[in-house]
Structure formats: C-alpha cells, structure tokens
A = this chain, B = another copy of it.
Amino acid sequence: MNYPSKLIEEAVEEIAKLPGIGKKTALRLALHLLKRDGEQTTSLAEALVKMRLNTQYCRQCHNISDHELCALCTNPRRDASVVCVVEDTRDVLAIENTSQFKGLYHVLGGIISPLEGIGPGDLNIESLLIRLAEEGSEVREIILALSPTMEGDTTAFYLTKRLRQPSLRPFSLKLSTIARGIPIGGDLEYADEITLGRSIVSRIAYD
C-alpha cells in the first residue's frame, strides 16, 4: 500500500506487530489517533512504556506484579496450602473474578506446544517443583486449571507425572483438575459429543 506519509507507515508497521491486528486495522487505529488530541497518543505511549519497564513477574508465582512478590502471594488471608496452576495471567484474573478460589497461584507462562516449539523447559515448571520442595512449604493440594485442549491436556499429563515423583515430597500431595462438563446454562442438544461424553463418564453422585 502507498501510505500518504512515511510516519504513518512506520506507525502502522509497529501496530500491526500486535497479535490479531492486521495492516487495515492498524491504519484505522493510526488515523483515529491522528483525529484525536495529541494528548491521547502521548498518554497511550507513556502507559505502554511505563508498564513495560516497571512491571515484573512475582518471584514466587510468576504472576505479573508491581513488586518482587505479588499482591496475592503477600496477602495473609489467602490459603497457602492450595496452589492453582494456570497458563497465564489472564487465567488468574478469570478465576479471581469468580470469587470461588482463596488459595495461591502458579503461572506457567505458557503451555506445552510442540507445534510452536514450546517445551516444558520454557515454562515455569522447575520453579513450581522447587516451591513445593522448599522447607516450610505449606502446599498440600495442586489444582491444574489448564484449558481442555490438546496442549492443555499434554501439559497437565506432564505436570502430573512430575508432581507424583515420590522424591518430591515426604508427605502426600493432592492433585486435582478443574471439572469439565456442560457449561451452566448450556443446552445438552447443542453440546459437542466429547464434552457430553465426558460429562457422563465424570458424573457427580447426589449425596
């Protein structure tokens, strides 16, 4: 495309590097910024740079944090005996929004995906094992909250194998995964066969 200005072209190139944003959308966003006050552009740019330079990953759970330890890990009211293992920060936010979990998290920072060249070594798995084996560790249960996809299941399989090493903990560690089944409000008729099949196999007994 012949951009009317070299500067626009450079901005479009940079915006289009973001995931899910193509050249056309990038141009639309660039033209939007040009129409607005210059202040909007500078505060957007500043917020991005400040975020990039000043946030870090929590030393314990690898969630994004403003400090060395994140607000969840340092909160004394959280139950340190349960750790929920998730793929990334967005999953932490999603689970926090349910208000159903009061334990701590461990953010893997990705998921095993041979197609994208992501192996176990690229994820925060060793640090989870170290966290469990640490002296004074209170962790008694690990909940795996990974997406029920091929990659999620592979990662969960790998993690259960590693977490069940007898050398790891002198006492027993409970391992669980989040329930899979028909979503609340979902219609049986429209559920896919695999989900429906699993929901029958993992049926929950009434008391």
Contacts and interface: CB of A to CB of B under 8 A. Distances in A.
Interface in A2-52: 2-8, 10-11, 13-15, 17-21, 25, 27-34, 38, 40-52
A52 B47 contact: no
Contact of A48 (B6, B11, B89): B11
A53 B38 contact: yes
Chain copies in the assembled complex: 2
A63 B34 CA distance: 12
Contacts of A43: 14
A52 to B, nearest CB: 4
Contacts of A32: 18-19
Nearest to A1: B93
Nearest to A4: B64
A126 interface: no
A90 interface: yes
A113 interface: no
B11 A18 contact: no
A133 interface: no
A96 interface: yes
